[in-house]
Copies of this chain bind each other. A is one copy, B any other.
Amino acid sequence: MAIKVHGHPLSPPTRRVLLTLAEKDLEYEFIYVDLATGQQKKDSFLSMNPFGQVPVFEDGDLKLFESRAITKYISYAYADKGTALLVQDPKKIAIIGVWLEVEAHKFDAAGNKLSYEILIKPVLGLTTDEASVEQMQAQLGTVLDIYEKRLAESKYLGGDNYSLVDLHHVPIINNLMKTKVKALFEQRPHVNAWSTDILARPAWQKVLDKL
């Protein structure tokens, strides 16, 4: 198989890449990286990603890291396969570009931290920082207020169609739905309908079933 993903089943960035491959109906080989023993900090892994983080992606001789760079590559290189995740029209892709940045800088800053504090820390035997949880919930609420207005105007964040913008949110929203943070989504009708919609897509179910 030409496509390989080196990652961890519980890593949201790894899942972001697997979901993109599932939407594109692409086959791949999954290579498990044992984060618990620090495999991602060994030379063999650092030669693929000097930052020592999962996932790493291979497509033939092309090696990539940074999940959002990988998903963009897949979306363009396999534009004709499966679900269209990016568009060619310069103005439409510019709007998608804005909301891709919003996910990466605004949503993820709060969402990823909440997922880590509430779900991951207890697994690692660490104590959740409740003050940080409060602060991040307030920050996420502000972002979701803006999403609520946006989603009242267009069905998806990037426009009328599901795109890479919505997809990038899925792994973290999936985690947050298992926590009290779920309420922040349910309190906002358009956000609630949107998050329910994007979590119910067959491609995401396929990823969860496989992991």
Contact = CB atoms under 8 A, between A and B. Distances in A.
Interface of A: 50-51, 62, 64-66, 68-69, 72-73, 76-77, 90-91, 93-95, 97-98, 100-102, 104-106, 146, 149-150
22 contacts: A50-B146, A50-B149, A51-B102, A51-B106, A51-B146, A62-B91, A62-B94, A64-B94, A64-B95, A64-B97, A64-B98, A66-B97, A66-B98, A66-B102, A69-B101, A72-B94, A73-B90, A73-B93, A73-B94, A73-B97, A77-B90, A77-B94
B106 A105 contact: no
B104 A76 contact: no
- This protein's copies in its complex: 2
A3 B96 CA distance: 20
B149 A66 contact: no
Contacts of A77: 90, 94
Contacts of A64: 94-95, 97-98
A106 B64 CA distance: 16
Nearest to A98: B69
Contacts of A105: 66, 104
Contacts of A100: 69
A50 B72 CA distance: 25
